[in-house]
Amino acid sequence: MGRKWNNIKDKKASKDANTSRIYAKFGREIYVAAKQGEPDPEANQALKVVLERAKTYNVPKAIIDRAIDKAKGGDDESYDELRYEGFGPNGSMVIVDALTNNVNRTASEVRAAFGKNGGNMGVSGSVSYMFDTTAVFGVEGKTADEVLELLMEADIEVRDILEEEEAVIIYAEPDQFHAVQEAFKNVGVTEFTVAELTMLAQNEVELPEDAQAQFEKMIDALEDLEDVRQVYHNVDLGE
């Protein structure tokens, strides 16, 4: 799988460090998850997943509490969950997930981010069939063998376990997200460097240097959009 999750997360967090943009996006995502179900993460699995990912980005508790309180208060603000699919330079593939209260605005902005950077929008299903929904966790202080033994004892099958710098990265089936989380919790591990449901490309591609620079510019433009929640792609950026 080869995706360097800690490096990617650190890059995103660093890019947004001076703007609080990442916190605003999480606030919206937490609000929507809490609004769609119970505002209690123990009774709302979608909210629990979002909160676990927010922890890995060090989202302040005040922002989390504010979003949940807003949902509890019966606020009638509504958002649509949208997925856009498209192609970047050299036929690279991109998936963009968004939360928006203005569908026309978001579609226009996403289309522009593709078009201005050598890409183009595709139709629904044109890209997603080449990706798999995957649960990804990163833990420190354990070896890959220790993690494998732990998960085997919990009767959890994983897709892959890799050692990446100081962390072990676990790839599991999406419906195993909470089982993996509980298995680690039972041995005292409650902090993760990565904890999220993501879309992993079945095959990654490498781009020539000029195309990769243009591709990274396109990804940055998409991630900078206020309504965009997550961006997934199939390019090996060598990070």
155: CATH:
3.30.70.980
Q: What is the pLDDT of residue 91?
A: 87
Which range among 67-76, 109-118, 159-168 has the greatest average pLDDT? 109-118
Residue for token pair 């807003």: 70
Is the domain of 117 the same as that of 223? yes
Q: Residue 2 — pLDDT band, cuts 50, 70, 90?
A: very low
Find the radius of gyration of the CA atoms of the chain.
Answer: 18
Q: What is the pLDDT of residue 237?
A: 82
Query: Residue 234's Cα: distance from chain center in Å?
Result: 14
Question: Above 50 in pLDDT, residue 135?
Answer: yes
Structural domains counted in the chain: 3
Which tokens belong to 32? 């929507």
- In one-letter notation, the amino acid at residue 182 is E
Reference 88, options 116, 110, 130, 120; nearest CA is 120
For the segment 39-70, what is each residue's pLDDT rounded down to a tens digit? 888 889 899 999 999 998 889 999 999 999 99
Question: Above 70 in pLDDT, residue 9?
Answer: no
Is the domain of 192 the same as that of 134? yes
- In one-letter notation, the amino acid at residue 227 is D
Question: Percent of the chain scored above 90 by pLDDT?
Answer: 69
Range of the domain at 110: 80-127+203-233
Angle of CA points 207, 209, 215, to nearest 5°: 60
User: Concatenated DSSP letters for 141-184?
Assistant: SS-HHHHHHHHHHTT--EEEEEEETTEEEEEE-GGGHHHHHHHH
Question: Above 70 in pLDDT, residue 227?
Answer: yes
Average pLDDT, the chain: 89
